[in-house]
Amino acid sequence: MGLPENFVEAVYADPGLERYRGNPLIEALPPIMDLSALKKKLAGKVAFRPQDCFEKGHIRAHQISGLLDDFFQPLSMHKQLEEKISIMIRGGYVGRNIADGSLNRRMQEGYQRIMSGAADDFQFAQSKSTAKCFSLIGCSGSGKSSTINRILATYP
């Protein structure tokens, strides 16, 4: 019995950076994309047939409106956005390495303190967060969500 349609079998590969090595969550991600790979993955495909130019106006209107859905030209700002998202995803997984067990160990210790009642006088040690965030601000309809969705679609 195979995996359901929306499941992807993980393929683990060297992530190319020492900071990311040994972390199966990061090693299962696609490789960090360079500019040419990003262009290929983000670019929208437009189906065009020369004879479409000779269709009646009401038909051409529908064909042209399809361009709004299908056409996407990656720009330098899209590369910067993809890079930030890639860094956020991978950086967030650095502190959540399931291979070394440190995250589970900290969570289990905290749980045991709470269950034993020792949590009242205990302060959790401040652990260094690897979580990242950023804001994407722009005019309504400028393509913020579409671009984010295209970038996230490059990840299984």
**Domain presence at residue 100:** yes
Kindly state the helix (H) or strand (E) to which residue 141 belongs, with its residue range.
none
**Domain presence at residue 39:** yes
What is the tens place of the pLDDT at every residue in 18-35?
A: 999 999 999 999 999 999
Find out whether 26 and 15 touch, Cβ atoms under 8 Å.
yes
- Structural domains in the chain (count): 1
Cα 86 from Cα 76, distance rounded (Å):
15
Domain that holds residue 89: 18-45+76-119+129-152
What is the tens place of the pLDDT at every residue in 61-89?
A: 988 888 877 788 899 999 999 999 999 99
**Domain presence at residue 53:** no
**Domain presence at residue 102:** yes
Q: Is the pTM of this model over 0.85?
A: no
Give, in order, the Cα–Cα distances in Å from 139 to each of 83, 136, 145.
22, 10, 11
Model confidence at 120: pLDDT above 70: no
Structure confidence at residue 114 (pLDDT): 83
Of 73, 66, 77, the residue nearest 42 (C-alpha): 73
Averaged pLDDT of the chain: 86
